[in-house]
Amino acid sequence: MKCLLMTPVQRKGFVLGVSKFAYSMKRMPPLGLLYVSASLEQIGCNTDIIDLRHTYYNDDELIRIIKEKKYDVVGMYTDTSLKDTVIHYTGLIKKSTNLPVMIGGPGTLHPEEYLKGGADYVVFGEGEITAKEIIENLQGKLDIGSIKGIGFLRDGKMAVNPKRELIENIDTLPFPDYKKIDISGYHDFFFINMRKPYATMMTSRGCPFRCAYCTSHVIWTRKVRQMSVERVMKEIDFLVKEYNIKLIDFLDDIFGLKKDWIYDFCNELIKRKYDLKWCVILHPWSFKGYREDIFKLMKKAGCVTTKLGIQSANPKILKNVNRNPEDLEGAKDIIRLSKKHGMFIVTEMIFGLPEDTRATVNENLDFAFKTNPHYALFFEYQHLEGSELFLRYPNRDFTEIPNDEVKQLVKKANEKFYLRLSKIFELFIYALTHRPMWIFQVLKNSRFVLNLIGLRKGQ
């Protein structure tokens, strides 16, 4: 069996400035497909990956490739923002080749539209085992009714099989199948510490928190499964030795949730003396009680960037989205410590949360000015299916600020935060002292700066 795995790129309508241009500045390896690919290879299914964000083919070219390579099945990644695009590609592939199509990723909560669009299998949650079983079904070895975690059409009607259990021990996962992509074509130049070749990793699956706007649990649930440090080190050794990786962006919802684990991880990495830097996503609660000490160790082990979701500076709004108002103190501490240890700190806030007013949005901006992370990212709220807020407010009628105005407020916040001589100077000095190459890369493409500060939209 030969399987093509594909990541589509939005054809029309760009989400939050994720334009074609932004894709050229920020292209992350398709980690989910790399896992699915490695897993399929284990049962002798040969896979290729086409990441349209990396190499764009128009519809005719894509179909020509699919026919020439004689694939037996196509698998596609989807998230909510990609739904229409994925349905387009499904229709195109079915019409031109009639190959079976399977769709997986965080956007499969409501499978009916994909199935109506021609998909044969819609996969919920973790894809490694389900994808294998789909191949076995296509080979006639397994009945479709026994594949857990899929939706499909039976006699024209949607059927949903029972849920698939989580992979209990994620140490058993194969290494992501990096040989299927051109690793040199991936980067994230939004971050000043970018070094190439770069890879992404996930050392845990699941997040114990219940933020009301978030949908991470749809794939991973709220149970945290942590890879052992030993397994993580094996993957890092592999990435460094095989691909000469210089930067790893850890995509765990929250990195290093357990105290012993994060100490062991840093110590093991220090022992290896690799020329390797890394970035992590933290939570305002992360490392409470031992922050000073662990930041010192993380720095020594090569951590260069920390990312932190703050979401709102208003305690009432935080409470309403199931976050702890004490988060604000934790956030201040993490920003301070990241800066103290020379790490690049990126914070995120969402405008347009329930009960947000123009005044609370201003509080967010004030918080960003006072704490002064290197980047303060302001996002427009996304009403995502699967989130608690989607259930609580199906009509999204929870803020006095109209959507268009939220967009404007995001744009204005970006202008106010970044278009300051002191900020430009701070970022310039940081780049000069930490990663001078980055300045050349940015200057080569002035559109990047305009995009970053929100003065330029679209392609």
Binding site for ligand SF4 (CB under 6 A): 207, 209-211, 214, 216, 253-254, 283, 309
If contact means CB under 5 to 8 A according to the sort of partner, which of ligand SF4, ligand B12, none does residue 28 touch?
Answer: ligand B12
> How many beta carbons lie within 10 A of that of residue 184, not counting itself?
10
Residue 51 is given by DSSP the state: E
CB-based burial, 14-35: b 16+ in 10 Å, e otherwise = beebebebbbbbbbbbbbbbbb
Which residue from 41, 48, 72, 79 is in contact with ligand B12, where contact means CB under 6 A? 79
Contact call for residues 88 and 63 (beta carbons, < 8 A): no
Which residue from 45, 202, 254, 317 is in contact with ligand B12, where contact means CB under 6 A? 202
If contact means CB under 5 to 8 A according to the sort of partner, which of ligand SF4, ligand B12, none does residue 211 touch?
Answer: ligand SF4
Residue 37 binding ligand B12, by CB under 6 A? no
If contact means CB under 5 to 8 A according to the sort of partner, which of ligand B12, ligand SF4, none does residue 105 touch?
Answer: ligand B12
If contact means CB under 5 to 8 A according to the sort of partner, which of ligand B12, ligand SF4, none does residue 309 touch?
Answer: ligand SF4
**Interface stretch with ligand B12, choices 23-31, 64-72, 412-420, 425-433 (CB under 6 A):** 23-31
Residue 30 binding ligand B12, by CB under 6 A? yes
CB-based burial, 368-383: b 16+ in 10 Å, e otherwise = beebbbbbbbbbbbbb
Angle at which helices 358-371 and 327-340 cross, to 10°? 30
Residue 15 binding ligand B12, by CB under 6 A? yes
Binding residues among 244-263 for ligand B12 as defined by CB under 6 A = 251, 253
Residue 386 binding ligand B12, by CB under 6 A? yes
Which residue from 24, 96, 324, 382 is in contact with ligand B12, where contact means CB under 6 A? 382
Q: Which is nearer to ligand B12, 138 or 202 (CB)?
A: 202
Q: Which is nearer to ligand B12, 382 or 408 (CB)?
A: 382
Q: Spell out, one character per residue from 58 to 77, where the chain touches ligand B12: x when CB under 6 A holds, - when not.
A: -----------------xxx
Mapping DSSP to helix (H, G, I), strand (E, B) and coil, where does residue 309 land?
strand
CB of 39 to ligand B12, least distance (A): 8
**Interface stretch with ligand B12, choices 211-219, 303-311, 390-398, 449-457 (CB under 6 A):** 211-219
Residue 120 binding ligand B12, by CB under 6 A? no
Residue with tokens 């700066």: 449
Do β-strands 204-205 and 225-226 pair in parallel, antiparallel, or remain unpaired? antiparallel
If contact means CB under 5 to 8 A according to the sort of partner, which of ligand SF4, ligand B12, none does residue 382 touch?
Answer: ligand B12
CB of 287 to ligand SF4, least distance (A): 14
If contact means CB under 5 to 8 A according to the sort of partner, which of ligand SF4, ligand B12, none does residue 82 touch?
Answer: ligand B12
If contact means CB under 5 to 8 A according to the sort of partner, which of ligand SF4, ligand B12, none does residue 117 touch?
Answer: none
Do β-strands 375-380 and 101-104 pair in parallel, antiparallel, or remain unpaired? unpaired
Distance of CA 122 to the CA centre of its chain: 20
Terminal-residue alpha carbon distance, the chain: 38
Backbone angles phi, psi at 248, to 5 degrees: -120, 125
d(CA 347, CA 288): 18
**Interface stretch with ligand B12, choices 29-37, 111-119, 221-229, 441-449 (CB under 6 A):** 29-37
Contact call for residues 449 and 442 (beta carbons, < 8 A): yes
DSSP string, 117-175: TT-SEEE-S--HHHHHHHHHHHTTSS-GGG-TTEEEEETTEEEEPPPPPP-S-GGGSPP
**Interface stretch with ligand B12, choices 122-130, 343-351, 391-399, 417-425 (CB under 6 A):** 122-130
If contact means CB under 5 to 8 A according to the sort of partner, which of ligand B12, ligand SF4, none does residue 16 touch?
Answer: ligand B12
CB of 34 to ligand B12, least distance (A): 8
Residue 294 to residues 30, 204, 260, 329, Cα–Cα distance (Å): 30, 19, 11, 18
Which residue from 127, 151, 256, 454 is in contact with ligand B12, where contact means CB under 6 A? 127
If contact means CB under 5 to 8 A according to the sort of partner, which of ligand B12, ligand SF4, none does residue 107 touch?
Answer: ligand B12
d(CA 295, CA 274): 19
Look up residue 45 and give its amino acid.
C
d(CA 188, CA 195): 9
If contact means CB under 5 to 8 A according to the sort of partner, which of ligand SF4, ligand B12, none does residue 192 touch?
Answer: none
- Closest to 83 (Cα-Cα) out of 34, 55, 117, 56: 117
Mapping DSSP to helix (H, G, I), strand (E, B) and coil, where does residue 65 land?
helix
Q: Where does this chain bind ligand B12 (CB under 6 A)?
A: 10, 15-16, 18, 28, 30-33, 35-36, 75-77, 79-82, 102, 104-107, 123, 126-128, 130-131, 202, 214-216, 219, 251, 253, 382, 384, 386
